[in-house]
Chains A and B, each alone.
Chain A
Amino acid sequence: MRAPSGADIAAGETMLAVENVSLAFGGVKAITDVSFDIRKGEIRAIIGPNGAGKTSMLNVINGFYTPQHGRITFKGATRAKMRPHEAAIGGIARTFQNVALFRGMTALDNIMAGRSLRMHKNFFWQLLRHGPAMTEEVEHRKRVEDIIEFLEIAHIRKTPVGVLPYGLQKRVELGRALAMEPDLLLLDEPMAGMNLEEKEDMSRYVLDVNNFYGTTIALIEHDMGVVMDLSDRVVVLDYGRKIADGTPDEVKRDKAVIDAYLGVAH
């Protein structure tokens, strides 16, 4: 499958639309009246200073939070409320800001867990490890091995993830999300806490996923260099409100954005 070019994206269909979403925890307003869209095949960055509501936004998209106001339309279906596992079934995968892996399991099992939704054979067959279930397991294992190879983590596939260094844990987590073969991939600070080399590796994986699999990606990132290089379009949040939306170049020159990041003289 050929990756969509910039022009395709500009004209492209909308994969996810967020309209007038507001979210509050008691009296604390996390998100206020935010609207934006994510187009099929693009890499969309969500940026903003700490506490701007970026992670809350991702949690709204994949159903961890239910917004008090607003609508979310994903692949043409509008919803008021969705449970996280339903979002996963619908084709939304994600990674977390503070890696959330299954610590007791090996890297391989973690990534295999990402395929839970795609395995359907009767579990009595699975118990016997025979017949159709075995064929299914082998087939899924093959897909998982492809992902492991792609992310260059073959050497740690049998290692319990709890003992892995942070950078590798993030890679396993990305692998688990990829194993779901999602339509929309949400990455919450995929490069946080990494050194330059690891960031370059991770950027390459993100671009490759977008190019080769055509996966639509929404990512939160603090490293501006990375954001500007990777993303097709950027939405900027500050104090839970949207202050800018556009291509990296447009956003970089935006007065409100510069003020939010550098502060303004009062």
Chain B
Amino acid sequence: MDLLYNIFIDPFVQMVQLPDLFVQTLWEGLVSGVLYALIALGFVLIFKASGVFNFAQGIMVVFAALTLIGLYTLLRGWGVRPGDLAAFLALGLTIGVMFVLAFGVERLMLRPLVNQPDIILFMATFGLTYFLIGLGELVFGGEPKVMIAEDLYLPKGSLDFKILGGLVSLQKIDIAAAVIASVMVATLAVFFQKTRIGRALRAVADSHKAALSVGISLEQIWVIVWFAAGIVALATGIMWGARSNVSFALQIIALKALPVLILGGFTSIPGAIVGGVIIGVGEKIGEFYWGPLLGSGIESWLAYFIALIFLLFRPQGLFGDKIIERI
């Protein structure tokens, strides 16, 4: 009886008794959800346009963030003042680097592998991951770096609300992350659904030969989509980096995007956001209210558990395309 009470009654009693704590936990969950969603977004872009799970998305986040900081340091070293000028110059240059990366990936990795099975392309993204890890460590060194949040005008500090008989505190950087993520998602969703290039991207994902036959250039589409994923990676890197540090450990966190994708659907941009938020909130609430029952630490596996349940009952995710094969 005690156990049942602890599982089904007590957590909800706590939520009602200390609503400020509940709101704070909810917010924390929402924020980490948005950050998961940003990473998931990068995966969705490439999956939508090539049907390949890009294992390298996590390292692309780290690589983009490190490039930004590296270039900033370099520019400051050359005497570029003031700091914000250097920061935005570095931002522009990093976008350029992401384009070169997209171009290189298309030329050296994707083009020679046209018409190969998806699993070959997937393995190639593993190769890309370790290449980028090596390159990143060689150029920028392995130690964690501090994100140049201040010079990019990212807000600092927190907003405190005295509500619900307590104190709820929202970090401004988290609010900025949520806003940036929402804008990116809205833009990408319209881009995919409503533009000619968006239509071409979906076409390439469905059938290479049919896309070629209507005059869509695979090369061009792949550069565009990897570049877009690179931009998303850069935004993710800045946001993650501003909350903690930029280190290679981030790319492991990026794998949290996997349950997010299973939940939201591999092909859905809004799904990445909704999935991210559900996972983020579920994790934090679960950890805070039910975690103690299991000796804590459920945050690290709860997401995968939720994903497993989803795979059993709704394998295409909440918003994914349900592919019906006529046989």
Q: How far is the CA of A147 from the CA of B196 in the complex (A)?
A: 19
Inter-subunit contact B197/A100 (CB<8 Å): no
A96 CB–B CB distance under 8 Å: yes
Inter-subunit contact A127/B207 (CB<8 Å): no
- Say which residue of A88, A112, A165 sits within 8 Å of B213 (CB atoms): A88
Within 8 A of B (CB), among A68-123: 84-85, 88-89, 93-94, 96, 100-105, 109, 112-114, 116-117, 119, 123
Q: Which of A89, A102, A162, A176 has the most chain B CB within a 10 Å cutoff? A: A102
Inter-subunit contact A103/B213 (CB<8 Å): no
A17 CB–B CB distance under 8 Å: no
Question: Which of B36-44, B170-178, B296-304, B317-325 makes up part of the contact surface?
Answer: B317-325
A50 CB–B CB distance under 8 Å: no
Known: A127-B187, A127-B194. A103 touches B212 (CB 8 A): no
Cβ of A63 to closest chain B Cβ, rounded Å: 8
Inter-subunit contact B206/A104 (CB<8 Å): yes
Q: How far is the CA of A114 from the CA of B214 in the complex (A)?
A: 5
Q: How far is the CA of A126 from the CA of B187 in the complex (A)?
A: 12
B216 CB–A CB distance under 8 Å: yes
Q: Which residues on B sit within 8 Å (CB–CB) of A64?
A: 209, 212
Inter-subunit contact B206/A103 (CB<8 Å): yes
Q: How far is the CA of A62 from the CA of B212 in the complex (A)?
A: 10
Q: How far is the CA of A62 from the CA of B323 in the complex (A)?
A: 29
Known: A102-B210, A104-B321, A180-B215. A113 touches B190 (CB 8 A): no
Give the size of the chain A interface in residues (CB under 8 angstroms).
33
Known: A103-B207, A116-B196. A127 touches B215 (CB 8 A): no
Q: How far is the CA of A24 from the CA of B300 in the complex (A)?
A: 55
Q: Which residues on B sit within 8 Å (CB–CB) of A109?
A: 199, 202
A10 CB–B CB distance under 8 Å: no
Known: A162-B325, A163-B324, A163-B326. A101 touches B206 (CB 8 A): yes
Nearest-neighbor residue (CB-CB) of A111 within chain B:
B214
Q: Which residues on B sit within 8 Å (CB–CB) of A103?
A: 206-207, 323
- Say which residue of B194, B202, B209, B324 sits within 8 Å of A100 (CB atoms): B209
Within 8 A of A (CB), among B179-226: 187, 190-191, 194-197, 199-200, 202-203, 205-207, 209-218
Q: Which residues on A sit within 8 Å (CB–CB) of B323?
A: 103-104, 162
Inter-subunit contact A116/B325 (CB<8 Å): no
A142 CB–B CB distance under 8 Å: no
Cβ of B118 to closest chain A Cβ, rounded Å: 15
Q: Which residues on A sit within 8 Å (CB–CB) of B251?
A: none
Q: Which residues on A sit within 8 Å (CB–CB) of B190?
A: 127, 129
Q: Which residues on A sit within 8 Å (CB–CB) of B202?
A: 102, 104-105, 109
Cβ of A258 to closest chain B Cβ, rounded Å: 34
Q: How far is the CA of A119 from the CA of B199 in the complex (A)?
A: 12
Q: How far is the CA of A127 from the CA of B214 in the complex (A)?
A: 22
- Say which residue of B203, B206, B213, B216 sits within 8 Å of A94 (CB atoms): B213
Map CB proximity to A onto B55-77 as digits: 1 under 8 Å, 0 otherwise. 00000000000000000000000
Q: Which residues on B sit within 8 Å (CB–CB) of A176?
A: 210, 214
Known: A117-B215, A180-B215. A100 touches B196 (CB 8 A): no
Nearest-neighbor residue (CB-CB) of B220 within chain A:
A85
Q: How far is the CA of A94 from the CA of B190 in the complex (A)?
A: 30
Nearest-neighbor residue (CB-CB) of A117 within chain B:
B215
Q: Which residues on A sit within 8 Å (CB–CB) of B321?
A: 104
Q: Which of A62, A93, A116, A180 has the most chain B CB within a 10 Å cutoff? A: A116
Map CB proximity to A onto B223-261 as digits: 1 under 8 Å, 0 otherwise. 000000000000000000000000000000000000000
Q: How far is the CA of A234 from the CA of B77 in the complex (A)?
A: 74
Inter-subunit contact B207/A85 (CB<8 Å): no
Q: Which residues on B sit within 8 Å (CB–CB) of A93?
A: 213-214
Q: Which residues on B sit within 8 Å (CB–CB) of A85?
A: 212, 215-218
B94 CB–A CB distance under 8 Å: no
Q: Which residues on B sit within 8 Å (CB–CB) of A166?
A: 326
Inter-subunit contact A100/B187 (CB<8 Å): no
Give the A-binding residues of B (Cβ under 8 A).
187, 190-191, 194-197, 199-200, 202-203, 205-207, 209-218, 267, 321, 323-326
Of all A-B residue pairs in the complex, the 8 with the closest CB atoms, nearest first, are A88-B215, A84-B212, A100-B210, A102-B206, A126-B195, A117-B215, A85-B217, A119-B196
